[in-house]
Chain A
Amino acid sequence: MTALPLDSPELSVKYFVEDSSAVRVEELIPVFHRWIRESVLEDELLIDVANYAHVPKGPGVMLICDLGQYGLDLRHGRPGLRYRRRRVAHASPQDRLAETFRSAIRAGSLLADEPALEGRYRFRTDEVELVIYDRLRAPSALGTLEAVSPLLGSFVTQLYEDPAVSLELTSRSNEPFAVRITTQEAPPLRTLLSRL
Chain B
Amino acid sequence: METILKRTRTPQTWKERLDGRLPEELEREIDIFETQVELRRRGEMDERLFAETRLRRGVYGQRYDNGHRYDGLKTRQLAYPDVATKGTDTVWDAPGMVRIKIPYGKITTAQLELLAELAEDYSDGIAHVTTRQDIQLHFVHIDDTPNLMRRLASLGITTREACGNSVRNVTACPLAGVCQTEAFDVSPYADALKTFLLGHPDVQDFGRKFKVAFSGCAEEACGLTNMHDLGLIARTRISESGGVQRGFEFYVGGGLGAVPHQAKLLDPFVTEEALLPLSQAVSRVFARLGEKDNRGRARIKFLVAKLGMEEFRELVEAERATLPDDPRWTAYLGELERDVEAPLREPVPLATSEEDLSKSFHAWRGTNARRQRQAGYHTATVNLPLGDITSDQLRLLAGIAREFVGDHIRLTVEQNILLRWISESDLPALHRALTGADLGAPGAETIGDITACPGTDTCKLGIASSRGLAAELRKEFVQLDGAVDESVKSLRIKASGCFNSCGQHHVADLGFYGISRKKDGRLVPHFQVVLGGKWSDNAGSFGMATLAIPAKRIPEVVRRVTDLYVSERENGETFQAFISRFGKAEIKKFLQDLAPIPSYDEDPSFYSDWGDPREYTMEDYGEGECAGEIVPLVEFGLQSGEREVFEAQLHLDAGSADLASRLAYKAMLTAAQALVKTELLDITEDPGDIVGEFRSRFHDTGRFHDRYAGAKFAAYLFRAHEEEDGDGSELPQQLARSRVEEAQLFIEAAYRCYERMGTEVTV
Contact = CB atoms under 8 A, between A and B. Distances in A.
Contacts of B143: 87
A136 B14 contact: yes
A117 B78 CA distance: 27
Contacts of B13: 136
Contacts of B468: 51
B392 A29 contact: no
A54 B388 contact: yes
A70 to B, nearest CB: 11
Interface residues of B, number: 51
Interface stretch (A55-63, A161-169, A181-189): A55-63
Contacts, number: 107
Contact of B125 (A3, A58, A64): A58
Interface in A77-96: 86-87
Contact of A136 (B11, B78, B614): B11
Contact of A2 (B9, B14, B386): B9
By secondary structure, the A interface counts as: loop
A133 B117 CA distance: 9
A69 B614 CA distance: 20
A134 B14 CA distance: 11
B269 to A, nearest CB: 45
A62 B388 CA distance: 15
A174 interface: yes
Interface string B412-424: 0000000000000
Interface residues of A, number: 39
A57 B121 contact: no
A28 B626 CA distance: 32
Nearest to A51: B611
A164 to B, nearest CB: 31
Given A2-B9, A33-B72, A54-B471, A47 B64 contact: yes
B113 A59 contact: no
B10 A64 contact: no
Interface string A41-59: 0000101111111111111
A55 B78 contact: no
A135 interface: yes
B64 A33 contact: no
Contacts of A53: 471
B613 A29 contact: yes
Interface string B1-44: 00000000111111001000000000000000000000000000
Interface in A1-60: 2-3, 10, 26, 29-30, 33, 36-37, 45, 47-59
Contacts of A176: 120-121
A54 B139 contact: no
A113 interface: no
A137 B113 contact: no
Contacts of A75: 125, 390, 392
Given A50-B139, A52-B126, A136-B11, A57 B395 contact: no
Contacts of A62: 124
Contacts of A99: none
A73 to B, nearest CB: 9
Interface string B282-296: 000000000000000
A87 B141 contact: yes
Contact of A69 (B80, B113, B124): B124
Contact of A55 (B14, B73, B388, B611): B388
B206 to A, nearest CB: 32
B390 A58 contact: yes
A114 interface: no
Contacts of B121: 10, 133-135, 176
B712 interface: no
B151 to A, nearest CB: 9
B629 to A, nearest CB: 24
Contacts of A59: 124-126, 390
B626 to A, nearest CB: 20
Contacts of A33: 71-72, 612-614
B359 to A, nearest CB: 20
User: A3, A54, A133: which has the most chain B beta carbons within 10 Å?
Assistant: A54
Contacts of A57: 390, 392-393, 438
Nearest to B121: A133
B93 interface: yes
B622 interface: no
A58 B120 CA distance: 11
Interface in A84-126: 86-87
Contacts of B392: 57, 75-76, 175
A129 B622 CA distance: 39
Contacts of A69: 124, 139
B457 interface: yes
Contacts of A64: 95, 124, 139
Contacts of A175: 392, 395
B12 A3 contact: yes
A10 B143 CA distance: 14
B63 interface: yes
Interface in B82-128: 93-95, 113, 116-117, 120-121, 124-126
Closest CB pairs A-B (n = 8): A56-B438, A37-B71, A30-B613, A54-B385, A58-B390, A59-B125, A54-B471, A2-B10
Interface of A: 2-3, 10, 26, 29-30, 33, 36-37, 45, 47-59, 62, 64, 66, 69, 75-76, 86-87, 133-137, 174-176
11 contacts: A51-B467, A52-B126, A53-B471, A54-B474, A55-B389, A56-B438, A57-B392, A64-B139, A75-B390, A136-B12, A176-B121
Interface of B: 9-14, 17, 63-64, 69, 71-73, 78-81, 93-95, 113, 116-117, 120-121, 124-126, 138-139, 141, 143, 385-386, 388-390, 392-393, 395, 438, 457, 467-468, 471, 474-475, 611-614
Given A2-B10, A53-B471, A174-B117, 6 more contacts: A48-B64, A51-B611, A54-B386, A54-B475, A58-B126, A58-B388
